[in-house]
Amino acid sequence: MCGILCVWNTYSQTNKIPPEFGYVTDSLDLVVLEIRYASNHNFTGKPINGYQQPEAILSKKALQQLKKANEFFLRKGYTFKIFDAYRPQRAVNHFTDWARKTEDTLTKKEFYPNVAKKDLFSLGYIATKSGHSRGSTIDLTLIDLKTGRELDMGSPYDFFGEISHHGTRKISKKQKKNRKLLKKGMRKFGFIAYPKEWWHYTLYNEPFPNTYFDFPVR
């Protein structure tokens, strides 16, 4: 039986993803992908282990609910931009290894200018396990279909700091309104917000609450 620290490796050496998972672009309309961890544009400054392709993968249960949320927002004139979805455990290990190398501050100015790298663990920005590896967590924002631009959420994706928290007082009324729009819409379809990251949502009653998968994103 798989426990809380289980890492599922069955599909690591194949070209398939588990049958309980699917690709976001196969289910959602007009969605935009910007999978940062498959590129250099992320807080490590390098592509992340396990991201072989810039794809977004989720459990099929999460995909069903995300599709409903997507349809809801499309009717309001918005669509999703997705930064990350399922994340292999090897990618989380990459993050933790990077965080322990306190001399590597290449991306500090963009992603954590006001936070000491040595404090990323204690502040909860980096951890040895991530809900993303369970397959039902997603990082996303909204795009206005009329302008093609992201809504202003007050801080960039993956910015480590108080301004990214849902309860921050450091953003404008318009930015708060945009965050509330996303949060309310996601909650309507069963996705729960993470207090420290306005972009981060996890499906309530996720199907694999105790399993941390490690098949590559491809």
**How would you write the pLDDT of the chain (218 residues) with one tens digit per residue?**
344 444 444 444 556 899 999 999 999 999 999 999 999 999 999 999 999 999 999 999 999 999 999 999 999 999 999 999 999 999 999 999 999 999 999 999 999 999 999 999 999 899 999 999 999 999 999 999 999 999 999 999 999 999 999 999 999 999 999 999 999 999 999 999 999 999 999 999 999 999 999 999 99
Instruction: Give 67's strand partners.
Output: none
Name the active-site residue from 34, 55, 197, 206: 197
55 assigned to active site = no
Q: Angle, to 10 degrees, between the axis of helix 60-75 and the axis of helix 173-188?
A: 130
- Contacts for 16-22: CB closer than 8 Å, 24+ residues apart: 17/57, 17/215, 17/218, 18/213, 18/215, 20/59, 20/60, 20/135, 20/207, 20/208, 21/57, 21/58, 21/59, 21/60, 21/86, 21/135, 22/57, 22/58, 22/60, 22/63
pTM of the model as a whole: 0.92
